[in-house]
Amino acid sequence: MLGGANQVCRLVRGLRERGVASVLVCPPGDIAGLRIRGTSFSAGFAGHGESAWVRPGGDGTIVLPMGGDLDFGLTRRLRAVFRSIRPDIVHVHSRRGADLFAGLACLAEGLPAVLTRRVDNPEPASWARFKYRPYRSIVAISRAVEAQLTGRAGLEPKRIRTIPSAVNPHEFLPDRTARARLLAEFALPEDAFVAAVSAQLIKRKGHDVLLACLPDLVRRHPKLRVLCFGDGPLKRRLSRRIDALGLGRHVQLAGFRRDLPSLLPGVDVLVHPARREGLGVALLEAMSSGVPVVASAVGGIVDVVEPEVEGLLVPPDDAPDLGAALERIIGDARLRKRIGIAGRTRVQREFSVGLMTERYLDLYRDVLAGAHATV
């Protein structure tokens, strides 16, 4: 499940626990949704590519064709959905057309709407002002995303609310039994030092930067093993690169794993060499599991990791510095333990699903209060 999809699921669960009724609107295929029955108000969710955790067509799911940025009929279809459920507020979680067309549908139906933006890539100011005009508030998941919205996009700062992504510390938690499962699942030697990457296999996640520093590392640390969790369009290219570098014995493309929470606590370090990152939920999951992290100092990652406290940060696209940071981690068990403890403590304090849910509820209340004041 992609990071944004997971965040939608976690938020819906958090709303359910607080008695908030939600309806998830989503496309067919792998998408699914649920209705959360409650007594407060309804939050409508619209998106593309936001996989959830109930089978399509299940209770409360509204499955709607969504064809992306050129699906101009989506506005009409969403208007029909909104008329049928009459939500108090609509919360849009996606790009790929939903951010534009759901906003236009809300504007036409007179519904207050908010949008969560999860990526920090720039947008032309004129386009951003048009696309975001229907939304009472736009949520940035990090300071980097906020800076894109208020900087190049030129949106008014008062319209932006920063609410970080979150994890459930009771789902990703330290587990001494995970090590044995991990070694058995991937046929790793008992004395292996295991590094993991948890990210889509796409260019901006920087797998190639990690591969570039590994030949020297494995010569000095032959027990090093790397598991790359995730899937994506670069799978074949990365596989060829692994073979070309002679790393086949040391690196496995482990694919997408639904059981990641039961495996992640068994690794020794999570590596995240991203070139761009809205926040870095994979880091939160590792930190919650008590796993030390080494990551690029880009985007929202600097909101999550204080250097030398919850992890080690290196410049992006810098294979030598990444290798040096991993060398430190491999050689210093005390450092790994200290960083692991500090990371879990910070996730519990600042990045829990409960806190994220409360922040969204505060936003919904503020938006609804403003909407009612203008009636």
Given this model, what pLDDT does residue 123 score? 85
H or E segment to which residue 251 belongs: strand 251-255
Question: Both 343 and 235 in a single domain?
Answer: yes
In a domain, 100, yes or no: yes
Confidence check: pLDDT of 66 > 70: yes
- pLDDT band (50, 70, 90) for residue 49: very low
Instruction: Supply angle C-alpha 23, 72, 5, rounded to 5.
Output: 40
Q: Which residue has the tokens 């606590």?
A: 265
Give the span between the Cα atoms of 107 and 90, in whole angstroms: 11
Given this model, what pLDDT does residue 59 score? 39
Averaged pLDDT, 278-297: 97
Question: Both 19 and 155 in a single domain?
Answer: yes
Question: pLDDT tens-digit profile of 179-191?
Answer: 999 999 999 999 9
DSSP symbols for 342-359: HHHHHHHHHSBHHHHHHH
Give the span between the Cα atoms of 186 and 19, in whole angstroms: 42
CATH number at residue 76: 3.40.50.2000
Cβ distance 160 to 138 under 8 Å? yes
The range of the structural domain enclosing residue 40 comes to 3-166+352-373
Question: Both 291 and 303 in a single domain?
Answer: yes
Give the span between the Cα atoms of 82 and 209, in whole angstroms: 46
In 47-202, at which residue ranges do the beta strands (DSSP E only) sit?
A: 62-63, 89-92, 113-117, 137-140, 160-162, 193-198
Question: pLDDT tens-digit profile of 127-168?
Answer: 989 999 999 999 999 999 999 999 878 899 999 999 999 999
In a domain, 218, yes or no: yes
Least confident of 47-51, 157-161, 184-188, 241-245: 47-51
Given this model, what pLDDT does residue 300 score? 95
Least confident of 33-47, 95-109, 342-356: 33-47
Question: Both 25 and 125 in a single domain?
Answer: yes
Averaged pLDDT, 317-322: 98
Question: Both 183 and 141 in a single domain?
Answer: no
Confidence check: pLDDT of 288 > 80: yes
Q: Name the residue with higher pLDDT: 144 or 12.
A: 144
Confidence check: pLDDT of 32 > 50: no
Confidence check: pLDDT of 115 > 80: yes
In a domain, 296, yes or no: yes
Confidence check: pLDDT of 269 > 50: yes
H or E segment to which residue 265 belongs: none
Confidence check: pLDDT of 6 > 80: no
Averaged pLDDT, 333-357: 97
Given this model, what pLDDT does residue 61 score? 66
In a domain, 369, yes or no: yes
Give the span between the Cα atoms of 276 and 118, in whole angstroms: 12
Given this model, what pLDDT does residue 60 score? 58
Question: Both 94 and 233 in a single domain?
Answer: no
H or E segment to which residue 254 belongs: strand 251-255
Question: Both 209 and 143 in a single domain?
Answer: no
Question: Both 200 and 309 in a single domain?
Answer: yes
Give the span between the Cα atoms of 276 and 205, in whole angstroms: 7
In a domain, 172, yes or no: no
In a domain, 173, yes or no: no
- pLDDT band (50, 70, 90) for residue 259: very high
pLDDT > 90 fraction of the chain, expressed in percent and rounded: 71
Question: Both 303 and 194 in a single domain?
Answer: yes
Given this model, what pLDDT does residue 243 score? 98
DSSP symbols for 314-329: E-TT-HHHHHHHHHHH
The Cβ-side half-sphere exposure at 324, using a 13 Å CA radius, reads 8
pLDDT > 70 fraction of the chain, expressed in percent and rounded: 89
- pLDDT band (50, 70, 90) for residue 29: low
Domain total in the chain = 2
9: its two tokens? 């699921």
Question: Both 141 and 27 in a single domain?
Answer: yes
Burial class (CB in 10 A: 0-12, 13-18, 19+), 316: buried
H or E segment to which residue 185 belongs: helix 178-185
Question: Both 150 and 199 in a single domain?
Answer: no
Cβ distance 197 to 271 under 8 Å? yes
In a domain, 125, yes or no: yes
Give the span between the Cα atoms of 138 and 148, in whole angstroms: 12
Given this model, what pLDDT does residue 2 score? 60
Give the span between the Cα atoms of 204 and 276, in whole angstroms: 6
Please name the amino acid found at residue 68: G
Question: pLDDT tens-digit profile of 200-214?
Answer: 999 999 999 999 999
Averaged pLDDT, 234-244: 98
Given this model, what pLDDT does residue 3 score? 66
- pLDDT band (50, 70, 90) for residue 321: very high
Given this model, what pLDDT does residue 43 score? 52
Cβ distance 325 to 331 under 8 Å? no
In a domain, 211, yes or no: yes
Question: Both 258 and 323 in a single domain?
Answer: yes
Cβ distance 254 to 140 under 8 Å? no
| Mean pLDDT, all residues of the chain | 88
